[in-house]
Chains A and B, each alone.
Chain A
């Protein structure tokens, strides 16, 4: 096991940040922590990267205990905090060299690991980190986290505030790193990224709701979801919420995801109801649940 977490709890004064969290991450796995802001993801990362000590429970990273062997962990993990935290007044190259030196290695030694990523930012290597775009900062931070060839990589919301193209590229990079045998624990508030992980844990208010592969999590969704569309989306949502048989109503892109309480749901009933609410151009189609739907259902 690359990461084991058992019964970890942590509270800040009166606020419980984590409650009895347990999970395991296998070696070479890409594991996602999916949850909204404030759900405790960063606290968990800080405990696993030895920056914070849990109130209860124990955890190991790369077979080292996070409390007793914290020094060994620091040699074996790469951590990329959610907030860009490299030296803004150093250039790309200087930052990389600096972190390589602290870890007692050189850029050349592990160059093959970062090569794919580094070549993308190499043209700007004399530019100061503070002057880089969000996507480039991300790549630099990843390079710095990888420079000492860590066994486990912790990425705390790496794609927050990054454009969609860079996000997609970033996940492709993670996939390639995973093939090189690095265990990756990544957190994200974006549900669409969850599908790219091997396994995910849905986390909310410091508790884990479910842990499974993205496909299995979606399969567990108990209801049939319908995409509903009409001429006035706002009124549509209000009307659906007022509908006596509704189970859940969430806006989802251009549609509204709707589930019904009844087992024998008839599309015509709903269309009639919505027409009586002065909506037109009504479309109702069956659709497959996504992780977001599952999360909303579990978080209810």
Chain B
């Protein structure tokens, strides 16, 4: 118990303080350059130079760009119109389309400000470059950005939070219940009685975990109904897809719970360890703070965080209406995770010691 009390909180302090950041960094940036001139390239170069943006892709068409945003590969999309440079020289003004993934309303707001700042600075430079000395009268040149917030037009934070919190509830309840359940049998001694019976390991474990799987699915149902009724959260994607993903996801959580209960002797210990992991999982899930802003090592860590995938999938399916192919990577990773965790759990559960 003593190492649990001291080591785990210290780990949390070190990891989470570094990883759970509210900064918005490493924004996934894409652009559609319809102009292909030195001016448009210079503008893109500005974004490239900024530490806030990771310029990822140059999309040839709007359709491809939109598809990419649906998959979550791009969060900010800049559209440079045809004849951008020519119009700028002629009319001294122009408009840029900016599309921002606004599922996380707060981050979208910050991203919009960044884009505006970069474009403004570009305005000032361009005055020097484009306006020749011949222009006696220096007219102000303005490039305006017109932001378009996708998936969450009004930047409503509830739309963003409700699917995430639903994930959290399903996870916490199933993890705590399953983590404590077998430990409880250890504590009151019924496990000993069960162990001398010819019941098979797998039968016992399935018997123990299946009810929690049902409870988890029930929680999801209740949560979805409340999300619709109380918060009117949009549900664009297919419900069966959400249930399919959740049914696999809960297996991961149950596996973790069982694994914890195999290595603990009391419900108190099990509770403590389950709590430790949930806190780390939640704060590093992208639920509250964007994963892209975390340091590189922390981003790597989140790859092992099942909640991260669940949060992503729920938001993608509910708010963006992503389909099966869009969430396939998450689905496969979760399925693999479920397989590994349950394998470990069954392997470490011993009827004899």
Residue of A nearest to B204 (CB): A102
Q: Give the interface centre of A71, A83, A102 by most chain B CB atoms within 10 Å.
A: A102
Whole-angstrom distance from the CB of B293 to the nearest CB of chain A? 48
Max chain A C-beta neighbours (<10 A), residue from B193, B194, B199, B352 = B193
Q: Mark A44-88, 1 if CB is under 8 A from B, else 0.
A: 000001111100000000000000001100110101010111111
| Contact in complex: B353, A51 (CB < 8 Å) | yes
> Within the assembled complex, what's the spacing in Å between the Cα atoms of A75 and B196?
8
**Interface contact B196-A84, CB-CB below 8 Å:** no
Report the Cα distance A81→B188, complex, angstroms.
12
Min Cβ gap B265→A in Å is: 14
**Interchain CA distance A74-B204 in the complex, whole Å:** 15
Contact B352 A83 (CB under 8 A): no
Given contacts A51-B353, A52-B352, A53-B352, contact A74 B192 (CB under 8 A): no
Q: Is A123 an interface residue (CB 8 A)?
A: no
What does the 1/0 interface line of A24-55 toward B look like (CB < 8 Å)? Answer: 00000000000000000000000001111100
Interchain CA distance A114-B233 in the complex, whole Å = 60
Main secondary structure of the interface of A (DSSP, over half): loop
A99 interfacial contact with B, CB 8 Å: yes
Query: Is B198 an interface residue, CB under 8 A from the partner?
Result: yes
Size category, B interface? 10 to 19
B195 within 8 A of A: yes
A103 at the interface (CB under 8 A from B): yes
* Nearest neighbor of B207 in chain A, beta-carbon distance: A102
Q: Of all chain B residues, which has the CB nearest A81?
A: B192
Contact of B353 among A52, A77, A83, A104 (CB under 8 A): A52
Enumerate chain B residues within 8 angstroms of A79, measured Cβ to Cβ. 193, 196
Partner of A81, one of B189, B197, B352: B189
B198: which of A52, A87, A104 is its contact (CB, 8 Å)? A104
The CA-CA distance from A104 to B197 in the complex, in Å, is: 10
Interface string of B55-74 (1 = CB under 8 A from A): 00000000000000000000
The 8 closest A-B pairs by CB, nearest first: A85-B189, A85-B193, A79-B196, A74-B198, A83-B189, A102-B197, A75-B198, A102-B199
| Sample of 4 more A-B contacts, CB < 8 Å, known A49-B196, A50-B196 | A51-B192, A51-B353, A77-B196, A85-B193
- The 16 listed contacts between A and B (C-beta, < 8 Å) are A50-B196, A51-B195, A51-B353, A70-B352, A79-B193, A81-B189, A81-B193, A83-B189, A85-B192, A85-B193, A88-B188, A102-B194, A102-B197, A102-B198, A102-B199, A144-B193
